[in-house]
Protein backbone atom coordinates (compact mmCIF):
# COMPACT_ATOMS: atom_id res chain seq x y z
CA UNK A 1 0.00 0.00 0.00
CA UNK A 2 2.78 2.41 0.90
CA UNK A 3 4.47 1.83 -2.48
CA UNK A 4 1.27 2.46 -4.39
CA UNK A 5 0.48 5.58 -2.37
CA UNK A 6 3.92 7.06 -3.01
CA UNK A 7 3.62 6.24 -6.70
CA UNK A 8 0.15 7.78 -6.86
CA UNK A 9 1.52 11.02 -5.40
CA UNK A 10 4.48 10.94 -7.81
CA UNK A 11 2.20 10.34 -10.81
CA UNK A 12 -0.17 13.14 -9.74
CA UNK A 13 -3.17 10.95 -8.94
CA UNK A 14 -5.44 13.04 -6.70
CA UNK A 15 -7.82 10.28 -5.52
CA UNK A 16 -7.10 6.62 -4.84
CA UNK A 17 -9.69 4.11 -3.64
CA UNK A 18 -8.56 0.77 -2.24
CA UNK A 19 -10.99 -2.13 -1.84
CA UNK A 20 -9.79 -3.49 1.48
CA UNK A 21 -12.76 -5.54 2.77
CA UNK A 22 -16.05 -6.30 1.07
CA UNK A 23 -19.46 -6.76 2.65
CA UNK A 24 -19.14 -10.41 1.60
CA UNK A 25 -15.81 -10.83 3.41
CA UNK A 26 -17.65 -11.26 6.72
CA UNK A 27 -18.55 -14.76 5.46
CA UNK A 28 -14.91 -15.82 5.35
CA UNK A 29 -13.50 -17.94 8.18
CA UNK A 30 -13.43 -16.03 11.46
CA UNK A 31 -9.64 -16.29 11.72
CA UNK A 32 -9.25 -14.66 8.30
CA UNK A 33 -11.66 -11.85 9.22
CA UNK A 34 -9.66 -11.20 12.40
CA UNK A 35 -6.45 -10.95 10.36
CA UNK A 36 -8.03 -8.49 7.91
CA UNK A 37 -9.33 -6.34 10.77
CA UNK A 38 -5.92 -6.40 12.43
CA UNK A 39 -4.25 -5.30 9.20
CA UNK A 40 -6.44 -2.19 9.09
CA UNK A 41 -5.76 -1.53 12.77
CA UNK A 42 -1.99 -1.88 12.24
CA UNK A 43 -2.00 0.37 9.18
CA UNK A 44 -3.79 3.09 11.14
CA UNK A 45 -1.45 2.68 14.14
CA UNK A 46 1.77 2.61 12.12
CA UNK A 47 1.07 4.75 9.07
CA UNK A 48 -1.36 7.47 10.13
CA UNK A 49 1.22 10.00 11.29
CA UNK A 50 3.22 9.68 8.07
CA UNK A 51 0.11 9.79 5.89
CA UNK A 52 -1.00 12.95 7.66
CA UNK A 53 2.45 14.51 7.32
CA UNK A 54 2.45 13.69 3.60
CA UNK A 55 -0.88 15.46 3.11
CA UNK A 56 -3.05 12.38 2.58
CA UNK A 57 -6.73 12.76 3.43
CA UNK A 58 -8.33 9.49 4.59
CA UNK A 59 -11.94 8.63 3.92
CA UNK A 60 -13.89 5.51 4.73
CA UNK A 61 -16.48 4.19 2.30
CA UNK A 62 -18.81 1.40 3.28
CA UNK A 63 -20.55 0.55 6.52
CA UNK A 64 -18.78 1.22 9.77
CA UNK A 65 -21.33 -0.24 12.20
CA UNK A 66 -20.16 -3.86 11.94
CA UNK A 67 -16.50 -2.99 12.52
CA UNK A 68 -15.42 -3.48 16.17
CA UNK A 69 -16.06 -0.28 18.15
CA UNK A 70 -12.41 0.45 19.01
CA UNK A 71 -11.45 0.16 15.34
CA UNK A 72 -14.44 2.34 14.38
CA UNK A 73 -13.04 5.03 16.65
CA UNK A 74 -9.57 4.73 15.11
CA UNK A 75 -11.12 5.18 11.68
CA UNK A 76 -13.12 8.23 12.79
CA UNK A 77 -10.04 9.75 14.46
CA UNK A 78 -7.95 9.20 11.31
CA UNK A 79 -10.62 10.82 9.14
CA UNK A 80 -10.87 13.79 11.49
CA UNK A 81 -7.08 14.24 11.74
CA UNK A 82 -6.57 14.23 7.97
CA UNK A 83 -9.78 15.97 6.84
CA UNK A 84 -8.04 19.15 5.64
CA UNK A 85 -5.20 17.42 3.79
CA UNK A 86 -5.19 17.99 0.04
CA UNK A 87 -2.27 16.18 -1.57
CA UNK A 88 -4.15 12.92 -2.14
CA UNK A 89 -7.49 11.52 -1.00
CA UNK A 90 -7.29 7.87 0.02
CA UNK A 91 -10.68 6.16 0.17
CA UNK A 92 -10.51 2.94 2.13
CA UNK A 93 -13.41 0.73 1.12
CA UNK A 94 -13.88 -1.40 4.23
CA UNK A 95 -17.12 -3.35 4.74
CA UNK A 96 -18.04 -2.00 1.34
CA UNK A 97 -20.19 -3.42 -1.43
CA UNK A 98 -21.58 -1.53 -4.40
CA UNK A 99 -25.04 -3.06 -4.12
CA UNK A 100 -25.15 -2.40 -0.38
CA UNK A 101 -24.10 1.20 -1.01
CA UNK A 102 -26.97 1.66 -3.48
CA UNK A 103 -29.51 0.14 -1.07
CA UNK A 104 -28.29 2.42 1.74
CA UNK A 105 -28.49 5.45 -0.59
CA UNK A 106 -32.06 4.57 -1.67
CA UNK A 107 -33.13 4.13 1.95
CA UNK A 108 -31.74 7.58 2.84
CA UNK A 109 -33.46 9.13 -0.19
CA UNK A 110 -36.79 7.62 0.89
CA UNK A 111 -36.23 8.57 4.55
CA UNK A 112 -35.52 12.17 3.49
CA UNK A 113 -38.88 12.27 1.71
CA UNK A 114 -37.43 13.09 -1.69
CA UNK A 115 -40.15 13.30 -4.30
CA UNK A 116 -39.89 10.74 -7.09
CA UNK A 117 -39.70 13.54 -9.71
CA UNK A 118 -36.56 14.86 -8.00
CA UNK A 119 -34.64 11.58 -8.31
CA UNK A 120 -31.97 11.76 -11.00
CA UNK A 121 -28.38 10.58 -11.37
CA UNK A 122 -26.99 13.66 -9.66
CA UNK A 123 -29.21 13.17 -6.61
CA UNK A 124 -28.32 9.48 -6.31
CA UNK A 125 -24.61 10.35 -6.50
CA UNK A 126 -25.04 12.80 -3.61
CA UNK A 127 -26.35 9.96 -1.42
CA UNK A 128 -23.48 7.56 -2.14
CA UNK A 129 -20.45 7.02 0.12
CA UNK A 130 -18.34 8.86 -2.47
CA UNK A 131 -20.53 11.99 -2.47
CA UNK A 132 -18.52 15.03 -3.46
CA UNK A 133 -15.88 13.04 -5.32
CA UNK A 134 -15.65 12.52 -9.07
CA UNK A 135 -16.32 9.11 -10.55
CA UNK A 136 -13.17 7.04 -11.10
CA UNK A 137 -11.40 7.28 -14.43
CA UNK A 138 -9.61 3.97 -14.04
CA UNK A 139 -10.31 0.80 -12.08
CA UNK A 140 -7.38 -1.56 -11.70
CA UNK A 141 -8.19 -5.20 -11.07
CA UNK A 142 -5.36 -7.32 -9.70
CA UNK A 143 -5.11 -11.12 -9.69
CA UNK A 144 -6.26 -11.45 -13.30
CA UNK A 145 -9.93 -11.71 -12.33
CA UNK A 146 -12.24 -10.42 -15.04
CA UNK A 147 -14.93 -8.93 -12.81
CA UNK A 148 -15.44 -5.83 -10.68
CA UNK A 149 -16.58 -7.82 -7.61
CA UNK A 150 -19.27 -5.40 -6.44
CA UNK A 151 -16.83 -2.46 -6.43
CA UNK A 152 -18.08 1.05 -7.23
CA UNK A 153 -20.76 -0.31 -9.53
CA UNK A 154 -22.53 3.05 -9.86
CA UNK A 155 -19.43 5.23 -9.93
CA UNK A 156 -17.48 2.91 -12.24
CA UNK A 157 -20.09 2.85 -15.01
CA UNK A 158 -17.71 4.58 -17.45
CA UNK A 159 -14.38 3.89 -15.79
CA UNK A 160 -11.69 2.30 -17.91
CA UNK A 161 -10.67 -1.15 -16.66
CA UNK A 162 -7.13 -2.44 -16.40
CA UNK A 163 -6.67 -6.09 -15.44
CA UNK A 164 -3.30 -7.41 -14.37
CA UNK A 165 -2.35 -10.95 -13.34
CA UNK A 166 -0.27 -9.49 -10.47
CA UNK A 167 -1.62 -10.15 -7.02
CA UNK A 168 -2.20 -7.09 -4.81
CA UNK A 169 0.87 -7.70 -2.59
CA UNK A 170 3.04 -7.70 -5.73
CA UNK A 171 1.41 -4.67 -7.34
CA UNK A 172 4.05 -1.93 -7.38
CA UNK A 173 4.89 1.38 -9.01
CA UNK A 174 5.93 -0.33 -12.26
CA UNK A 175 2.51 -1.99 -12.50
CA UNK A 176 0.76 1.28 -11.69
CA UNK A 177 2.80 3.02 -14.39
CA UNK A 178 1.82 0.32 -16.92
CA UNK A 179 -1.84 0.81 -16.04
CA UNK A 180 -1.54 4.57 -16.45
CA UNK A 181 0.27 4.21 -19.78
CA UNK A 182 -2.46 1.95 -21.11
CA UNK A 183 -5.14 4.30 -19.81
CA UNK A 184 -3.47 7.27 -21.54
CA UNK A 185 -3.75 5.47 -24.91
CA UNK A 186 -7.49 4.93 -24.62
CA UNK A 187 -10.23 7.14 -26.01
CA UNK A 188 -12.94 7.69 -23.43
CA UNK A 189 -16.33 8.01 -25.06
CA UNK A 190 -18.82 7.79 -22.17
CA UNK A 191 -21.27 5.86 -24.36
CA UNK A 192 -20.85 8.10 -27.42
CA UNK A 193 -19.45 7.14 -30.81
CA UNK A 194 -15.69 7.51 -31.47
CA UNK A 195 -14.60 11.07 -32.17
pTM of the predicted model as reported, rounded to 2 decimal places: 0.91
pLDDT tens-digit map of 33-91: 999 999 999 999 999 999 999 999 999 999 999 999 999 999 999 999 999 999 999 99
Tell me how long the chain is.
195
Query: pLDDT tens, 148-181?
Result: 999 999 999 999 999 999 999 899 999 999 999 9
Gyration radius of the chain's alpha carbons:
17
Q: What's the pLDDT tens digit per position in 51-61? A: 999 999 999 99
Query: E strands of 1-145, at which residues?
Result: 15-22, 56-61, 88-96, 138-141
Question: What would be the CATH architecture of the domain defined by 13-96?
Answer: 3-Layer(aba) Sandwich (3.40)
Q: Do β-strands 88-96 and 160-163 pair in parallel, antiparallel, or remain unpaired?
A: unpaired
What does the pLDDT look like over 106-135, one tens digit per residue? 999 999 999 999 999 999 999 999 999 999
Query: Which of 1, 48, 51, 37 minimizes the C-alpha distance to 173?
Result: 1
Amino acid sequence: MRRVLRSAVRFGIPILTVYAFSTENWSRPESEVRVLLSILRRVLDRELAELHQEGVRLRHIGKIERIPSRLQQKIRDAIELTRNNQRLTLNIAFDYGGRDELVRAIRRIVADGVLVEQVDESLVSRYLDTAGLPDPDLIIRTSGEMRVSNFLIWQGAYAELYVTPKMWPDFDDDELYKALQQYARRERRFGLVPG
